[in-house]
Structure 1
Amino acid sequence: MAGIELNEGFRRALAAIEAGRHVFVTGRAGTGKSTLLRYFRATTRRRVAVVAPTGVAALNAGGQTIHSFFGWRPDITPARVRRVGEEKGRLYRALEAIVVDEVSMVRADLLDCVDRFLRLNGPSPGEPFGGVQMVFIGDLYQLPPVATALEERALSALYPTPYFFSARCLQGLDYELVELEKAYRQQQDPQFLEVLDAVRNGTVSEGQLALLNGRCRPDFEPPPHELWVHLCATNAQAEAINRRQLARLRGRAYTFVGRIEGRFEREYLPVPVELALKAGAQVMLVSNDPLGRWVNGTLGRVREVWPDPGGPAALVEPYEGGEVEVAPHTWELYELYLEGEELRSRVVGRYTQMPLILAWAVTIHKAQGKTLPRVVVDLGRGAFAPGQVYVALSRATCLQGLVLKRPIDRRHIWCDRRVVRFLTEFRYRRSEEALPLARKRELVEAAIREGRPLRIVYLKPDDQRSCRVVWPKEVGEMEHGGRTFLGMRAYCSLRGEERTFRLDRILEMGPAEP
């Protein structure tokens, strides 16, 4: 794939995947997780299946839903998982790896179903995941698993959290965590990126909250010549805005009716079966153009609509400029099968429709993974899921491209502390394996003797990571808040004062230039 920047995070992730290790690839919004998946699929020679928890996520990833791939009903439980027949089982026995995209939305019990199924039907029966390498991709600080109140109560009796990392099959399993750190979406606005990071893990300062709320414009109406997208918490809210804006346009509305062939379940539909368009409508293109004229998520305005079948159906002016003729697009749904020793895919369903949706407003959920130059965030009654405010704000590329319809209250910005605890404890454990406490103490003692500084990467319990240069003064048993720990007292160049650091929270340590 041309034009892909293989930064250090990409290289680490790809090396771990190609080495056959179980891997969880994560990273903040806009770090290229989807790009990494596309690159891996385009370059690997291994027999790989790609699955996702929802139909649209699966379609975007070029894979199947988890339920579809394994042939399950929606009410599957680990106890209901069974061995499959010899012919069907050949596919699963040939697998080398499974990539689970958007893993933040995968529930623990569903992952246990995957493990049990592969233990019964995979290439190495009885082994974890049947000997199949698992690659998990997603950001736990974004949208969480979906469960009804009844399901939540049942799950809480079996699992400490509903997230995939609480699955029983992962307890004691050795897997690597690789974090993509370079943010491409907001790289031109580092101040906004810093605020987004604080929103992501729930550590927003009063100053940062004031900066965000400085963008509050309750009566904001987008200028006619600019494309602003309202991000809404609910489908009803987004649909109401789109209907209202479409009705305001003069001229005739043309309705395009989608065509389903074969097996193409409704949950996969990227565009409604009935789509009404008018000249002047604000739209989002939801396919990748083979000629490269637009990508999934490109915004534009309809200039003309041609209802004649057999040719282009609309003239669209994209946000970036120019004009493109847009014709109905056919999405294909695939399933994997085995031919000899080769894993192949075949089309099982098609959906043909205009690759557009009305985009004066979209839900925060549908906006996940998209980059939107100008965003109006309207939370209605507030966020109802952890990470929802972060997903909404992080669609924008800069602070000037963000408008809030109502102020953000601190109670709107919340992340699941269970996610924070999992990520920090995981990183502490990996740090201890790579650089044990005894070795950290030796390095600090040597730096004190020689009077030289150290470069450290420090991780606070709230998942805030910072790189610092420190001049160690003392190391040993220390006490704070009634707790004793092995610590280091040092002058911190980042804070310009002496600070105390817990050695078990130092992820990396090495010499630094004075």
Structure 2
Amino acid sequence: LQVVFFGDMFQLPPVVANDIEAMRFQLEYDSPYFFSAHLFQDQTFFLEMMELNKVYRQENRNFLRLLESVRLNRLDYDDLEDLNSRHLPQFEPEDFYVTLSARNATVDRINQRELSRIPLEEKTYVATISGQFNPRLYPTDPALKLKLGAQVMFIKNDPDKRFVNGTIGKVIKLDKKNVTVQIEQADGTPTQLEVEPMEWEVVKYKPSEKDPNRIETETLGNFTQLPLRLAWAITIHKSQGKTFDKVIIDLGRGAFEHGQTYVALSRCRSLEGIVLKTPLRMQDILIDERVVQFYETHF
């Protein structure tokens, strides 16, 4: 099969889910990265590399330059000073700001604290789950607790293009099965959206029994729920692929994973939309030398 791969190796590294996976990688491969697959060592294997250079999330050239410096670990102290101009110790969070944190415990604490501060009745929306759907893969809470005024994030693209994965909004109406969420358009105009449950599938790919040259899909499990999660805060890991206008970056005691700082900074459309909880340090810019070696070998 001819396969096309898309991705950015300078973002967060592959997730090794458990000790068994970790042991297998240590015994069989040089790293968990795709380029350590045995196939890549085969002399007959051919990989054509293309680098996409058009950036759609950000437009400001200085911010793009700063992000690229963080991504490739080429940041100097002037660049660091530019980024740390967004450290605002007296900043009070406003609506539609989302905190990006390196740790799950911090995210859960912020979301539960903010939800409990709303002195209104809580309503629970229960997901419909069928077949084989690993709880680790649930896209949102199977019992989603919401209140009027709760800040939420959409976690799926709308077929009608009203919202995308990562759109931030505020709950303004709770019905029996649906909720209404108010979002801000790019020009600041408020828009109300009625949100219904949506479906996620776990799919298995297999050769067609009728034609071995074709690949078919088999649905193993379904998860149906409102495409929302509480979003006063989310983890940097779960923010990958999302775009925000206003973010508070909370690295706690500092970055501890390759690409973590780059992913957090690059989620935002502009430097002005970023607030740093603590100043960035040079040691927060972490990059995996195995990725650098592969990148420099092929570009």
Please say whether Structure 1 and Structure 2 have the same fold, judged by a TM-score greater than 0.5.
yes
Q: CA-to-partner distance for each residue in 1:365-414, whole Å, 9 max, x for gaps?
A: 00000001111100012111100000000000110000100011000101
Aligned to 1:256: 125
For 1:407, give the aligned amino acid.
Answer: P
Asked if 1:283 corresponds to 2:283, the answer is: no
SS in 1 for 2:50: strand
For 2:32, give the aligned amino acid.
Answer: P
Distance 1:365 1:169 in 2: 28
For 2:49, give the aligned amino acid.
Answer: L
Query: Are the counterparts in 2 of residues 335 and 345 from structure 1 also a CA contact under 8 Å?
Result: yes
Name which of 51, 55, 64 aligns with 1:193: 64
For 1:206, give the aligned amino acid.
Answer: Y
Q: CA-to-partner distance for each residue in 1:289-315, whole Å, 9 max, x for gaps?
A: 232211222111111112x24xxx211
Question: C-alpha root-mean-square deviation of aligned residues, in Å?
Answer: 2.0
Change (3 A) 1:150 1:269: closer
For 2:35, give the aligned amino acid.
Answer: F
Aligned to 1:315: 180
Aligned to 1:398: 270
Asked if 1:164 corresponds to 2:29, the answer is: no
SS in 1 for 2:3: strand
* 1:350-499 aligned within 5 A: 350-427=222-299
SS in 1 for 2:115: helix
Asked if 1:142 corresponds to 2:11, the answer is: yes
Unmatched segments (≥5 aa) in structure 2: none
SS in 1 for 2:237: helix
> How far did residue 230 of structure 1 move?
0.2
SS in 1 for 2:170: strand
Query: Are the counterparts in 2 of residues 219 and 405 from structure 1 also a CA contact under 8 Å?
Result: no
Q: CA-to-partner distance for each residue in 1:420-470, whole Å, 9 max, x for gaps?
A: 11111222xxxxxxxxxxxxxxxxxxxxxxxxxxxxxxxxxxxxxxxxxxx
* TM-score of the pair, normalised by structure 2: 0.90
Distance 1:349 1:150 in 2: 25
> How far did residue 156 of structure 1 move?
5.1
Asked if 1:214 corresponds to 2:79, the answer is: no
Distance 1:352 1:164 in 2: 32
Tell which has more relative contact order, 1 or 2 (C-alpha 8 A, sep 6+): 2
Unmatched segments (≥5 aa) in structure 1: 1-131, 428-514
Change (3 A) 1:402 1:328: same
* TM-score of the pair, normalised by structure 1: 0.54
Change (3 A) 1:417 1:264: same
Distance 2:124 2:23 in 1: 44
SS in 2 for 1:218: coil
For 1:166, give the aligned amino acid.
Answer: S
Asked if 1:327 corresponds to 2:199, the answer is: no
* 1:503-514 aligned within 5 A: none
Aligned to 1:46: none
Count of aligned pairs between the two proteins: 289
Q: CA-to-partner distance for each residue in 1:467-494, whole Å, 9 max, x for gaps?
A: xxxxxxxxxxxxxxxxxxxxxxxxxxxx
For 2:134, give the aligned amino acid.
Answer: E
Asked if 1:302 corresponds to 2:171, the answer is: yes
> How far did residue 329 of structure 1 move?
1.8
SS in 2 for 1:244: helix
For 1:199, give the aligned amino acid.
Answer: V
Distance 2:133 2:226 in 1: 16
Q: CA-to-partner distance for each residue in 1:308-365, whole Å, 9 max, x for gaps?
A: 24xxx21101122310111222223333342523433343321121111000000000
For 1:230, give the aligned amino acid.
Answer: T
Distance 2:78 2:70 in 1: 12
Distance 2:30 2:195 in 1: 49
For 2:142, give the aligned amino acid.
Answer: V
Distance 1:276 1:152 in 2: 35
> How far did residue 267 of structure 1 move?
2.5
Aligned to 2:50: 178
> How far did residue 272 of structure 1 move?
0.9
For 1:319, give the aligned amino acid.
Answer: E
Change (3 A) 1:205 1:335: same
Richer in helix (by share): 1
The percentage of counterpart residues that share the same residue type is 43
Distance 2:298 2:71 in 1: 18
Asked if 1:274 corresponds to 2:139, the answer is: no
Distance 2:158 2:197 in 1: 11
Query: Are the counterparts in 2 of residues 256 and 275 from structure 1 also a CA contact under 8 Å?
Result: yes
Distance 2:37 2:223 in 1: 35
Q: CA-to-partner distance for each residue in 1:41-100, whole Å, 9 max, x for gaps?
A: xxxxxxxxxxxxxxxxxxxxxxxxxxxxxxxxxxxxxxxxxxxxxxxxxxxxxxxxxxxx
